[in-house]
């Protein structure tokens, strides 16, 4: 018997969000079923195996578009082509890293030959250069984990590119809120159909798309800007709020899934270390799906989501 697994059990077993599973389903990579006596999505053995294949390919940084190509063919030609291109990309990265190493070592050598005297700032620079040299030359690996564990460590070490980030200020605006709920309640409940029936009330803050999805302690809240003349009598049973807006660091999550979002969030935090901004923990991280047009999605082969990290100047409350 082909036992069906609940979406909640899938999220726990594989460490994924329900949104990520729905995203893979939207992109045609997996399929779910629903029974008449159970409202939420369920997955059979075939689709569980397909999900495991997706997760391995994503750990290899294979794009959603290429995963679609792999799954759309029965032979091995496409997967060999994709993996071959990945090897070429890795060779390119290795070449660049060797070149960078030589540049830094030349810089260190020039500093070591110079006579800086007793000036403390220059001495600190010299000590820092020695520290960099030690880190570069003496890179070593201890232990002997499995191939998969080593794969995770290597990809994590190489995944150090910082995304292009903009600082934007979002003005205050009136919005209707779905209220705080689980992903299953939001996307499988009443708010989506209600929004479609009342679409004439809304006005997008950015582009022609839903405004913001905010994460709150594992739950979510959907924020949609509404026209000035709309009242709570119109939006009942959903509340109208005054969204405060503020400063945000904005970066693109290429595939818009949970794994990509987490990577972009950590890179954004790293990028902020070089600025006079810090994350504002009093406000929530927000997501905005910037492209919802089917033709654009088909052309790209994936969604794109902007992630808005709330920020403030260091030292401010």
Q: Rounding to the nearest 10 degrees, give the CA dihedral for residues 196, 199, 203, 207.
A: 50
Across all residues in the chain, what is the average pLDDT?
A: 77
Q: How confident is the model at residue 254 (pLDDT cuts 50, 70, 90)?
A: low
- Contact between 164 and 251 under an 8 Å Cβ cutoff? The reply is yes
Interaxial angle between packed helices 18-26 and 45-59, expressed in degrees from 0 to 180 and rounded to the nearest 10: 100
Residue 69 lies in a domain: no
pLDDT confidence bin for 84, thresholds 50/70/90? very high
pLDDT at 2: 65
In a domain, 66, yes or no: no
**Residues paired with residue 223 on neighbouring β-strands, in sequence order:** 177, 212
CATH of the domain at 261: 3.20.80.10
Angle at CA of residue 274, ends 265 and 165, nearest 5°:
45
What CATH number did the domain enclosing 37 receive?
Answer: 1.10.1660.10
127 and 205 in a single domain? The answer is no
Q: Are residues 28 and 46 in the same domain?
A: yes
Q: Over 80: is that where the pLDDT of 177 sits?
A: yes
- Does residue 31 sit in the same domain as residue 144? no
179 and 306 together in one domain: yes
Q: Is the pLDDT of residue 248 over 90?
A: yes
Question: If pLDDT is split at 50, 70 and 90, which confidence band does 249 have?
Answer: very high
Determine the angle formed by the axes of helices 77-113 and 120-137, rounding to 10 degrees: 140
Within-domain flag for 298: yes
Looking at the chain, how many residues does it have? Answer: 317
Mean pLDDT for 159-167 is 66
Residues 69, 221: Cα–Cα separation, whole Å: 34
Confidence band, pLDDT 50/70/90 cuts, at residue 150: low
Picking from 119, 142, 158, the residue at the C-terminal end of a domain is 158
State the residue range of the domain holding 144.
Answer: 77-158
Among residues 103, 138, 158, which one ends one of the domains?
158
Max mean pLDDT range (17-26, 47-56, 146-155)? 47-56
- Are the C-beta atoms of residues 221 and 180 closer than 8 Å to each other? yes
- Inform me whether the pLDDT recorded for 301 exceeds 50: yes
pLDDT at 241 over 60: yes
pLDDT of residue 28: 87
Average pLDDT for residues 111-117, to the nearest whole number? 64
* Mean pLDDT computed over 299-312: 78
**DSSP labels, 147-167:** HHHHHHHHHHHH--PPPPEEE
DSSP-based three-state secondary structure for 307: strand
Rounded to a whole number of angstroms, the CA Rg of the chain reads 24
**Burial profile 124-162: b = 16 or more Cβ within 10 angstroms, e = fewer:** eeeeebeeebeeeeeeeeeeeeeeeeeeeeeeeeeeeee
| CA 57/CA 60 separation, integer angstroms | 5
Least confident of 48-62, 85-99, 232-246: 85-99
CA–CA distance, 225 with 227 (Å, rounded to integer): 7
As a whole number of angstroms, the distance between CA 249 and CA 265 comes to 10
Of 95, 130, 158, which one is at a domain's C-terminal end? 158
Tell whether 184 and 116 lie within a shared domain. no
Do 15 and 101 lie in one domain? The reply is no
Q: Which strand ranges, in their side-by-side order, compose the sheet holding 33-35?
A: 5-6, 38-43, 33-35
Ranges of H-type helices in the chain = 7-14, 18-26, 45-59, 64-71, 77-113, 120-137, 147-158, 183-188, 191-197, 232-235, 258-272, 294-300
pLDDT at 142: 46
Q: How confident is the model at residue 51 (pLDDT cuts 50, 70, 90)?
A: very high
pLDDT at 20 over 70: yes
Q: What is the pLDDT of residues 206-240, one digit of tens each?
A: 655 667 888 777 788 888 888 888 898 988 999 99
Total count of domains within the chain:
3
CA dihedral of 182, 188, 191, 193, whole degrees rounded to 10: 170
190 within domain boundaries: yes
Identify the pLDDT of residue 118.
Answer: 55
């Amino acid at each position: 018997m082909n036992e069906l697994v609940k979406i909640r059990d899938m999220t726990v077993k594989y460490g994924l969000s329900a949104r990520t599973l729905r995203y893979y389903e939207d992109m045609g990579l997996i399929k779910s079923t629903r029974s008449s006596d159970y409202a939420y999505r369920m997955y059979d053995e075939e689709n569980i195996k397909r999900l495991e294949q997706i997760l391995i390919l994503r750990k290899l940084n294979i794009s959603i578009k290429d995963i679609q190509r792999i799954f759309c063919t029965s032979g091995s030609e496409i997967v060999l082509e994709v993996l071959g291109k990945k090897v070429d990309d890795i060779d390119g990265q290795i070449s660049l890293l060797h070149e960078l190493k030589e540049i830094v070592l030349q810089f260190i050598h020039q500093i070591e030959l110079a006579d800086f005297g007793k000036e403390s700032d220059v001495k600190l620079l010299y000590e820092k250069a020695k520290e960099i040299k030690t880190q570069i030359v003496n890179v070593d690996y201890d232990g002997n984990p499995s191939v998969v564990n080593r794969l995770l460590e290597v990809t994590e070490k190489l995944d150090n590119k910082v995304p292009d980030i903009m600082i934007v200020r979002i003005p205050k605006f009136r919005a209707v809120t779905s209220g705080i709920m689980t992903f299953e309640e939001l996307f499988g409940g009443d708010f989506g159909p209600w929004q479609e029936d009342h679409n004439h009330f809304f006005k997008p803050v950015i582009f022609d798309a839903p405004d913001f999805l905010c994460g709150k302690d594992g739950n979510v809240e959907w924020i949609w800007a509404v026209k000035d003349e709309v009242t709570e009598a119109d939006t009942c049973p959903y509340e109208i709020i005054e969204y405060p807006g503020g400063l945000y660091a904005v970066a693109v999550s290429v595939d818009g899934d949970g794994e990509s979002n987490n990577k972009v969030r950590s890179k954004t935090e790293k990028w902020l270390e070089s600025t006079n901004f810090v994350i504002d923990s009093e406000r929530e991280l927000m997501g905005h799906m910037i492209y919802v047009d089917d033709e654009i999605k088909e052309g790209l082969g994936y969604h794109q989501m902007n992630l808005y990290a709330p920020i403030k100047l260091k030292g401010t409350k």
